[in-house]
Structure 1
């Protein structure tokens, strides 16, 4: 996903364009990693000193609902990143130090025999947490 695609989705879904929303999406496009709401608030308050945490959460929720952002949770805190541009099925390796992600194309669901259980799988999420090579070197 890129900034123009995200803004187009907002417009198509009936949400108005604001400079703050564009700046928020641009932040995620530049970062290429998971960010906490606190990270986003700290960044946005540099340009918009009066911006509240409620505004941040409201927009993070909206962007997640519209699939502009992906959401995960670690250490009891939700984190967000711009949705992947690829439409192919994949999962992520996530660095717990810097938050950067890498795609992995294999899927562990193929090895789980859920078909024999009578359970209908409607979706799944698989993430591997650790430390990237750059963070290990530091």
Structure 2
């Protein structure tokens, strides 16, 4: 079963209908390896659903985050979303600030344990932001 199919199954298991809009939002996110803003999602779905509202997009994205089928982060005050990935267990991401593509990173938490004697970490977030190699190459040719 694909990750997309598992996400749809999670929706159904939690009592949500799998509407065309919900499926298309999930397909869009699961078919790309990048974070997207709600506005980007809306722009990509406009042809298929001309009247789709920003509220519909946001509501569904936040439902998907609650169900853990979509991840969210924030960059410059804007929420960004991507399909949840669990390729090799717990990990983090480098996120390109130009195109939104991501690269998986191993968790660096062990590097900090020596600096926290007597402390217990309950949770953490670690993300790196910058330009991917493709965007850097495009920038250098312009």
TM-score by length of 2: 0.89
Matched, 1:29 2:30: yes
1:85 deviates by 3.1
CA shift, 1:125, in A, is: 0.9
1:79-105 deviations in Å (ceiling 9; x for gaps): 000000325121111111111001111
| Runs of 4+ deviating beyond 6 Å | none
Q: Which sections of structure 1, spanning at least 5 residues, go unmatched? A: none
Consecutive unaligned residues in structure 2, runs of 5 or more:
none
Partner of 1:114: 116
* Superposition CA RMSD, Å: 1.4
Give 1:59's aligned residue: 60
Measure, in 2, the Cα distance between the counterparts of 1:32 and 1:8.
21
Looking at structure 2, the residues matched to 17 and 69 of structure 1 have their Cα atoms a distance apart, in angstroms, of 15
In the TM superposition, what is the alpha-carbon distance from 1:114 to its structure 2 partner?
Answer: 3.0
Counterpart of 2:136?
136
User: How far has the Cα of 1:115 moved from its partner?
Assistant: 4.2
The number of aligned residues is 135
Q: TM-score, normalised by structure 1?
A: 0.91
